[in-house]
């Protein structure tokens, strides 16, 4: 199984990132990395843009399924996320 990771950077605006028990403010140029299993999230403090990289790829299906299913944040959304990650990390590397 491949390790999963998320990383991103702010190109515009200010965000509060929550990773584990830590919360910190991030503005343009800040780089954030989240390892598998870490509780995390963010709040927009201002209008902004984030570039987020998911490793391995395939995670974009999460956003499509979330929109299609109309899920609210909570256990059902978490279950969808785990399903998508399970599929993405089980796929062989080519």
In a domain, 85, yes or no: yes
**Residue 71: how many CA atoms within 13 Å on its side-chain side?**
16
Range of the domain at 77: 56-89
Are 2 and 47 found together in one domain? Answer: yes
Residue 81 and residue 72: Cα distance in Å, rounded?
A: 13
Q: pLDDT confidence of 92, banded at 50, 70, 90?
A: low
How far from chain centre, in Å, is Cα 63? 10
Tens digit of pLDDT for each residue in 39-55? Answer: 888 889 999 999 988 88
Tokens of 87: 């599929």
The pTM of this model reads: 0.67
**Residue at 94 is within a domain:** no
Same domain, 31 and 10: yes
Structural tokens at position 47:
């209008």
């Amino acid at each position: 199984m491949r390790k999963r990771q998320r990383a991103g950077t702010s190109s515009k605006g200010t965000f509060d990132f929550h990773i584990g028990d830590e919360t910190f403010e991030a503005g343009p140029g800040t780089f954030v990395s989240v390892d598998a299993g870490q509780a995390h999230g963010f709040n927009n403090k201002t209008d902004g843009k984030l570039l987020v990289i998911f490793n391995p790829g395939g995670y974009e299906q999460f956003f499509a399924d979330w929109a299609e299913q109309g899920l609210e944040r909570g256990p059902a959304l978490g279950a969808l996320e785990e399903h998508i990650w399970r599929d993405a990390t089980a796929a062989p590397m080519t």
